[in-house]
């Protein structure tokens, strides 16, 4: 009876996810414009990455998202978790800050971009505070920072929700025991809260790696043109898409696939690393 239950799902999963992954790996070793012949190129696509400035920028931007925004999201989520543990209106705040992560990236990207427009709300506010010469938020040098800030805003809610649920499961008497032993707030966090949430934290880090690597539409729509934005703000997902469907020039399916493979490898390496570095014996309580 096992087979008829599992087979349909497995077949569709194989056709849509597994087989294309394997075929992508093959394409990544070729030069291919989609139509016409495929020429074997060995590691040429991978070798070209390092010398392509657009790729390097996209890679660096992806790393900023993964580590920079990742660290910020976790610090803020932990702070909010600790804070909301005993605060009036916690359920309400949790519900509200979670909502942006459900809204399509296209929509929040457009709104976030509009806030920082030259005539946008942010400038109206700081103009009212007496700043007459606001920085060009969407200029080359600032735009990506604003995007990172937006990504952070979007994701904080999800991690706060997950961490809060974990914190809620910690029995109260452990804190009482810590108080009786004269623990400071920091010690209670360090020796009671953190060890008991460790497992959930590592799940969150894995989830973040996967989510951060696939961010696409938020950046795509940010500049409000509807087409591909300035190359300076691309990440690997945008780079891969632009290689396959360029606005001008021939499609480079090989390079697009190679970039996809790189994203996959990054996701797996970081997942394994996160699980391994954060490996602890599960604490039963």
- Residues in 215-254 that interact with another protein by CB under 8 A: 216-217, 220-221, 224-227, 236-237, 240-241, 244-245, 253
> Of 55-63, 109-117, 131-139, 143-151, which part binds another protein (CB under 8 A)?
109-117
Q: Is there binding between residue 185 and another protein (CB under 8 A)?
A: yes
User: Which position among 46, 98, 191, 198 is part of the footprint of another protein (CB under 8 A)?
Assistant: 98
Among 224, 28, 31, residue whose Cα is nearest residue 114: 224
Q: How far apart are CA 204 and CA 157, in angstroms?
A: 12
User: Which position among 33, 102, 131, 181 is part of the footprint of another protein (CB under 8 A)?
Assistant: 102
Per-position DSSP letters for 139-198, written without gaps between them: SHHHHHHHHHHHHHHHHHHHHHHHHHHHHHTS-HHHHHHHHHTT--HHHHIIIIIHHHHH
Contact by Cβ (8 Å): 104, 217: yes
Q: Is there binding between residue 17 and another protein (CB under 8 A)?
A: yes
Tell me whether residue 28 or residue 141 sits nearer to another protein (CB atom): 28
* Alpha carbon separation from 206 to 130, 235, 266, 275 (Å, rounded): 44, 19, 11, 8
Contact by Cβ (8 Å): 151, 219: no
Q: Is there binding between residue 15 and another protein (CB under 8 A)?
A: yes
> Of 4-12, 41-49, 134-142, 277-285, which part binds another protein (CB under 8 A)?
4-12
The H or E element containing residue 31 is: strand 30-33
Tell me whether residue 62 or residue 144 sits nearer to another protein (CB atom): 62
Binding mask 146-175 for another protein (x = CB under 8 A): ----------x-x--xx-xxx-xx--x--x
The residues in 30-49 that bind another protein, with binding defined as CB under 8 A, are 34
Q: Is there binding between residue 256 and another protein (CB under 8 A)?
A: yes
């Amino acid at each position: 009876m096992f087979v008829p239950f599992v087979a349909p799902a497995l077949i569709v999963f194989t056709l849509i996810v597994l087989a294309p992954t394997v075929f992508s790996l093959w394409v990544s070793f070729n030069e291919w414009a989609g139509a016409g012949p495929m020429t074997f190129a060995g590691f040429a696509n991978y070798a070209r990455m390092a010398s392509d400035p657009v790729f390097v920028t996209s890679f660096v931007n992806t790393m900023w998202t993964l580590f920079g925004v990742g660290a910020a999201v976790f610090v803020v989520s932990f702070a909010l978790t600790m804070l909301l543990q005993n605060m009036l209106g916690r359920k309400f705040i949790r519900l509200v800050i979670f909502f942006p992560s459900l809204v399509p990236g296209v929509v929040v990207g457009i709104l976030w971009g509009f806030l920082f427009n030259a005539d946008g709300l942010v400038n109206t506010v700081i103009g009212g505070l007496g700043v007459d010469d606001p920085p060009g938020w969407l200029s080359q040098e600032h735009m990506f920072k604003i995007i990172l800030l937006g990504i952070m805003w979007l994701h904080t809610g999800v991690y706060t929700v997950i961490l809060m649920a974990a914190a809620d499961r910690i029995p109260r008497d452990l804190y009482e025991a810590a108080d009786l032993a004269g623990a400071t707030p920091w010690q209670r966090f360090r020796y009671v809260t953190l060890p008991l949430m460790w497992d959930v934290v590592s799940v969150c880090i894995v989830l973040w790696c996967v989510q951060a690597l696939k961010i696409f539409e938020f950046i795509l729509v940010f500049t409000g043109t509807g087409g591909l934005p300035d190359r300076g703000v691309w990440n690997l997902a945008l780079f891969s898409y632009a290689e396959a469907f360029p606005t001008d020039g021939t499609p480079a399916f090989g390079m697009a696939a190679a970039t996809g493979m790189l994203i996959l490898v990054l996701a797996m390496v970081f997942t394994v690393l996160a699980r391994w570095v954060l490996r602890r014996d599960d604490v039963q309580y």
